Amino acid sequence: MNEALVVVENLEKRFSGSQGLLGLGRRPPVRAVNGVSFEIPAGSTLGLVGESGCGKTTVGRAILRLIEPDGGRVIVDGVDVRAQGPAELRALRRRMQIVFQDPYGSLNPRMTVRRALAEPLAIHGLATGAERERRIASLLEEVGLDRRLADSYPHELSGGQRQRVGIARALSVEPKFLVLDEPVSALDVSVQAQVLNLLADLQERRHLTYLFIAHDLAVVQHIADEITVMYLGRVVEMAPAAELYEAPRHPYTAALLSAVPVPDPGAQRERIVLTGEVPSPTNPPSGCPFHPRCPHPRKDERCRTEAPALRAVAPAHVAACHFAEDPI
């Protein structure tokens, strides 16, 4: 396997509790990200999945320091991201970029596609004049957009075209690492397939490393080499994509997988329908944070009192469940 381009160790992010009106209704701080660790080998894709509020988006942003982490270490391409001053951090952003879910919200509505692509080139002093024009044209071509769209405004483009602009903008500074935060969730099925194929092509051509954040397990399973599952701010399982699907060890992963609708009416699948909802991260359950919803038949007192550690259950496969050896 390639050497890790991205190393995340014990990442922590707390959001301070809201003060409430007149200091009333004060809430305790939320541990949005709680000791998350993983590595991403150069040129590969790590999929990060979980339901809303599990902290997956916060992890992506904390790695890039779009929000400041409260603890832990982040190494990208050999550089300790948290040790960088403001100027160094700006320079480092050339190597790591992010693509958001809603390209409509992340593109300036008053900027043409050309200006949106020229801006990062100017900020990082990468190209001027004719060279800049040439780069913009080649970026558009690389993401499969007609060159004539360069003078369009975001509202004149379709969702798929806007997402291609978002990807081109991220690529303009020639990064090595991309955080893809739900990049296809807002797109229609047929357009989603186009963008997923584009991302796979770009990765191969440019040897990019991806952190692919999504709630759709089928999409993540399709694109990721390895998958990390989060629940209430923690990693509960991590494994190579095929293995995670074939043999999930954590009951939450098993339930997530079984809840994904499969486009085959004849599919005989055992559905694990979880009862209850994701508990509030302000007041996580004691012991294993998943225990109130856990369908595991062997669930016992230990689950309610003792938080299971994330431990190796197979080569390259870790899970945080007391009964990982006896999966459902």
Partner 1 sequence: MSTPVLRVRDLRTYFVTERGGGTARAVDGVSFDLYPGETLGIVGESGSGKTVTSLSLLRLVPEPPGHVLPGSFIEFEGRSVLELSPKELRAIRGAQMAMIFQEPTASLNPVFTVGAQVAEAAIIHQRLSRRAARARAIEMLALVGIPDPETRADAYPHQLSGGMLQRVMIAMALVCHPKVLIADEPTTALDVTIQAQILELLDRLQDELGMGVVLITHDLGIVAGTADRVLVMYAGQVVETATTRELFARPLHPYTEGLLASVPRLDAPRRRLHTIPGQVPPATAWPTGCRFHPRCPHAWEKCASEEPPLLAGGEEPGHLTRCWLQTEPGRRKAQ
User: Which spans of this chain sit near partner 1 (rule: CB under 8 A)?
Assistant: 51-52, 158-160, 188-194, 196-197, 200, 215-219, 221-223, 245, 255-267, 271, 273-275, 277-278
In the complex, what is the shortest distance from the CB of residue 9 to partner 1, in angstroms, rounded to a whole number?
Answer: 28
Closer to partner 1 at the Cβ: 86 or 271?
271
Q: How far is CA 137 from the centre of its chain?
A: 29
User: Strand order in 234-240's β-sheet?
Assistant: 96-99, 177-181, 209-214, 45-49, 226-231, 234-240, 317-319, 311-314
Those residues with Cβ within 8 angstroms of residue 76's Cβ, 6 or more apart along the chain or in another chain:
5, 6, 63, 92, 95, 96, 176, 177
Find out whether 194 and 161 touch, Cβ atoms under 8 Å. no
Closer to partner 1 at the Cβ: 75 or 320?
320
Closer to partner 1 at the Cβ: 197 or 282?
197
In the complex, what is the shortest distance from the CB of residue 280 to partner 1, in angstroms, rounded to a whole number?
Answer: 9
Closer to partner 1 at the Cβ: 93 or 164?
164
In the complex, what is the shortest distance from the CB of residue 245 to partner 1, in angstroms, rounded to a whole number?
Answer: 6
Alpha helices in the chain (DSSP H): 56-63, 86-92, 103-106, 113-123, 129-142, 159-171, 189-206, 217-223, 241-246, 251-259, 301-305
Closer to partner 1 at the Cβ: 130 or 273?
273
Both tokens of 239, joined, read 């494994």
In the complex, what is the shortest distance from the CB of residue 64 to partner 1, in angstroms, rounded to a whole number?
Answer: 25
Backbone angles phi, psi at 63, to 5 degrees: -60, -40
Dist. CA 325–CA 71, nearest whole Å: 31
In the complex, what is the shortest distance from the CB of residue 261 to partner 1, in angstroms, rounded to a whole number?
Answer: 3
Closer to partner 1 at the Cβ: 91 or 259?
259
Q: How big, in percent rounded to 5, are the helix, strand and coil portions of the chain?
A: 35, 20, 40
In the complex, what is the shortest distance from the CB of residue 212 to partner 1, in angstroms, rounded to a whole number?
Answer: 12
